[in-house]
Structure 1
Amino acid sequence: MTDDIARLAAGMADRLVARRRDLHRYPETAWTEFRTASLVAGALADAGYELRLGGEAVRRESMLGVPPAEELAAHMERAEAQWGDPALIGRMAGGLTGVVGELKCGEGPVVALRFDMDANDMDEARDDAHRPHREGFDSVNPGAMHACGHDGHVAIGLGVAEALAALRDRLNGTVRLIFQPGEEGVRGAGPMVDAGALDGVDYLLGGHIGFQARKTGQLVCGTDKFLATTKFDVTFTGVPAHAGAAPEQGRNALLAAACAALNMHAIPRHGQGGSRITVGVLNAGQARNVIPPNGLLKAESRGETTEINDYVFARAKDVAAGAAHMYGVDHAVAVVGRSASGGSDPELAARVRRIAEGMPFFEPSGIVDSVDLRGSEDFAVMLAEVRRQGGTGTYVMIGSDLASGHHSFHFDFDERSLAPGVELFVRCVFDCMTLPARVRA
């Protein structure tokens, strides 16, 4: 069996690279992944998977940070112009771009794998030192770039789908492949959980190219200390007035926003674990001689545990309310993303290690049991749901030489990691299907 899996993965190496480069050239950001999702859905359907799309895959009421309707419509039109499937795209109207594919192969556990699809909100480098530009597969979509490797994740996921479909007569259980929108900004996992994408899952696998496995041939088998986070915007609404003749008639939203930004960074740290607060954007005012009537603050809280993050976010809301009261302006807080804390299950990570040790691609000295993420990833939301039901999961990092750090406009990874990524996940699925079903309806 292991030889068959290795041959299947190796045989698709060139197609994996081609698919990754196609996805890299046409990146789509959170809730606008219409082209990407339609290609995924079409490939899964062709391979014999049962599909869940639209409201079956994403709960509309749980979506956060969704672009305006006119922007979504424009992205749908662009996706069709870039050879997305119009019929499938139409089923995703409103940004419902999650895709779930299921392969039922008799009695046995339910094994789910999650692959994120979205790109970053940034422009890609346009110089010959950057391989995607030099070789002609850099982004053609302004303000969007695959700067975190999710194009590789989708390519791996579809390779896994193809290999498992070819071997379905040897599977015992159910494979569920989850292609998630909106990981950037931690927006996509919650609405998919709420739509039932993780219902009945016994074993959950996810992962990332690179990140803390920065050399080709390395592998991290489990990831711990996902930081819980809340992404939020605060709008301050004041009253404009002539700054020279009648400043007393105004209500200064700029000062309220500035006061909130400074004092959010003064929130006391938490004694039970790490905590963070960051105000990343502050926009306010209209003209130098007008009392500013508007202010916008974009911020995030983080915590080593969900409870610590909740503490920081609650204090941040208090600070915003206090600043608004001090300057006599109105304010509103909007949550645009959230994720929980969490970490991998050691027993499942140990099984990943055993599998990786049998693959020549991974250097024995480069296989690591676990690392602390010290960042946020909404895979933790899915993992928490699987654990609530009695299942287990792990998050791996597939080593790759990187041209630049993640979220850099020169980001690129070693495409030799794609085929081994497929082989690893397929072998993990077969391994999990030798285990008992843990979740009971």
Structure 2
Amino acid sequence: MNNEQLIAFRRELHRHPEPAFAEVGTAARVEASLVGLPVTVISGVAASDLSRVINLPTKDTLATWADLAVGSGVRPERAAYFRDNGTALIVDLAGDRAGPTWGLRVDMDALPMLESSALGHYPADEGFNSSVAAMHACGHDVHTTVGVGLLHRLSDRGFAGSLRVLFQPAEEGVRGAQTMIDARALDGIDHMLAIHVAGGMPFGEVVGSFTGGMATRKLLVNFSGRASHAAGMPEAGRNALIAASTAAIGIMGIPRFSTADTRVNVGTLLAGDGVNIVPAAATMTCEARATDDEVVEEVTARIREIVAGASLAQGVEHDVAIMGQSATISPDEEMIDLLVNAFSKHPKVGKVHRTQTFAGSDDANLMIRHVQLHGGIGAYLMVGASSPGPHHSATFDADERTIQLAVDVLETLLREHP
């Protein structure tokens, strides 16, 4: 694919965004874009183990997104395959001589929000903005396109070692990376990279790697009580809503830590059937974040204790499950050196930051850490994208020149590494 074809591919992804674990059309388009290349494509359970995922999309939800994919031009049999077998893809490309195994994580999912259709929003002006209840408001369409572009660029196999591109579902909510780790997709990788566009950074400005970030745990909490008449026999009930509410207030009262920056949040609380019924069930979602991995474990443990105490006080049962998670990132200096060197050779790169602290959470960090724990090295590069609106907003957009810049830099990195 040349640059114009990559831009067209990115626009097709942007026009047809899909949320976490429902990236049916996206996966099919990636697969179709690689036909004829000397690659091995792995999908299904060999690419992503979904057995431990909490709150996967329902069959009806997946069917809806699969139907939309078919309506947008995806072959029905491929839409059905990714609907039924998961959307992750592993794509392997062997070089022409011995060398390290490179890994590149690119995420595919969109956010469940509506995109701006206002005059002046570039995707709307050019006719490729989303018209469904999802939007690529964080640049994952660009990341996916970079992965496809790199595979095309290196298809002559003129590099040492091999490349494994991991097309990951469900980065939003930090749920997808662990499913690929559990499927052993990261085993054997020596050099692990992830890439992200930075909307608030101008095009031509780049970062060798994120550092820090926030480890997080996303929790689903269920409370099970007993219904009864709220006036006729209130003492017979076991109020799950009161337990959940007590827990929510307790969670928000967890003290901050002197050794790390921490965040807690209760995001949703659903309970009850009627005004005159003691609520028998309640469901809450909450999260803990910290700039230290041990601290996030401590905060999570305190959340569990608060939930247990609130449940005991109201005589209800409870269970707590982790929906998503990520770790902090400590990139390797050797890898940053390689990236900075590759950036320095690109004519469109104006300013290079060696590192930059990351304030959010991204589960690519789990992949990088997995490789590091097994003797490899890793980093998370960032490319300025000059977005007119912030990430996760209806007016986010990425300068499409970032696609070629990122592919160029990654190509240089792999071709010049001994």
TM class by shorter-chain length? over 0.9
Provide the residue aligned with 2:402 in structure 1.
417
Q: How does 1:344-423 map to 2 (within 5 A)?
A: 344-363=331-350, 366-423=351-408
Equivalent of 2:154 in 154, 157, 164: 164
Q: How does 1:272-311 map to 2 (within 5 A)?
A: 272-311=259-298
Equivalent of 1:73 in 63, 68, 77: 63
Give per-residue Cα distances to partners, 1:155-188, cap 9 Å, x unaligned: 11111111111x31x2221111111111111111
How far apart are the structure 2 equivalents of 1:273 and 1:175? Answer: 36
Between Structure 1 and Structure 2, the one with more strand by share is 2
Provide the residue aligned with 2:110 in structure 1.
119
Q: What is the identity percentage for the equivalent residue pairs of Structure 1 and Structure 2?
A: 35
For residue 222 of structure 1, give the secondary structure of its aligned residue in structure 2: strand
Q: How does 1:251-330 map to 2 (within 5 A)?
A: 251-330=238-317
For residue 145 of structure 1, give the secondary structure of its aligned residue in structure 2: coil
Residue 101 (structure 2) pairs with residue 110 (structure 1)? yes
Equivalent of 2:191 in 165, 186, 203: 203
For residue 331 of structure 2, give the secondary structure of its aligned residue in structure 1: coil
TM-score (norm 2): 0.94
Give per-residue Cα distances to partners, 1:283-325, cap 9 Å, x unaligned: 2233333333332211111122322111111110111111111
CA drift of 1:44 comes to 2.3
Equivalent of 1:41 in 7, 16, 31: 31
Residue 167 (structure 2) pairs with residue 192 (structure 1)? no
CA drift of 1:342 comes to 2.0
The one-letter amino acid of 1:262's match is I
For residue 57 of structure 2, give the secondary structure of its aligned residue in structure 1: coil
Give per-residue Cα distances to partners, 1:405-430, cap 9 Å, x unaligned: 11112211211221111111111222
For residue 205 of structure 1, give the secondary structure of its aligned residue in structure 2: strand
Contact 1:53 1:91 in 2 (8 A): no
Residue 14 (structure 2) pairs with residue 24 (structure 1)? yes
Contact 1:119 1:146 in 2 (8 A): yes
For residue 113 of structure 1, give the secondary structure of its aligned residue in structure 2: strand
* Unaligned residue ranges in structure 2 (runs of 5+): none
Give per-residue Cα distances to partners, 1:243-302, cap 9 Å, x unaligned: 344333332222211111110122233343222211111222333333333322111111
How far apart are the structure 2 equivalents of 1:240 and 1:151? Answer: 47
How far apart are the structure 2 equivalents of 1:330 and 1:261? Answer: 16
Contact 1:230 1:302 in 2 (8 A): yes
Contact 1:237 1:253 in 2 (8 A): yes
Aligned residues between the structures: 417
Residue 40 (structure 2) pairs with residue 53 (structure 1)? no
Give per-residue Cα distances to partners, 1:2-48, cap 9 Å, x unaligned: xxxxxxxxx82222221111111111111111111111122224222
How far apart are the structure 1 equivalents of 2:413 and 2:401? Answer: 19
Contact 2:174 2:363 in 1 (8 A): yes
Contact 1:45 1:51 in 2 (8 A): no
CA drift of 1:84 comes to 2.0
How far apart are the structure 1 equivalents of 2:117 and 2:236? Answer: 49
How far apart are the structure 2 equivalents of 1:181 and 1:415? Answer: 22
Give per-residue Cα distances to partners, 1:208-258, cap 9 Å, x unaligned: 0115x5211110111111321111111222333333443333322222111
Give per-residue Cα distances to partners, 1:345-367, cap 9 Å, x unaligned: 1221122112211212111xx21
TM-score (norm 1): 0.90
Provide the residue aligned with 2:215 in structure 1.
228
For residue 80 of structure 1, give the secondary structure of its aligned residue in structure 2: helix
How far apart are the structure 1 equivalents of 2:291 and 2:34? Answer: 37
For residue 320 of structure 2, give the secondary structure of its aligned residue in structure 1: strand
How far apart are the structure 1 equivalents of 2:3 and 2:180? Answer: 30
Aligned Cα root-mean-square deviation (Å): 1.9
Residue 333 (structure 2) pairs with residue 343 (structure 1)? no
How far apart are the structure 1 equivalents of 2:288 and 2:188? Answer: 31
The one-letter amino acid of 2:236's match is Q
How far apart are the structure 2 equivalents of 1:46 and 1:227? Answer: 40
Contact 1:241 1:250 in 2 (8 A): yes
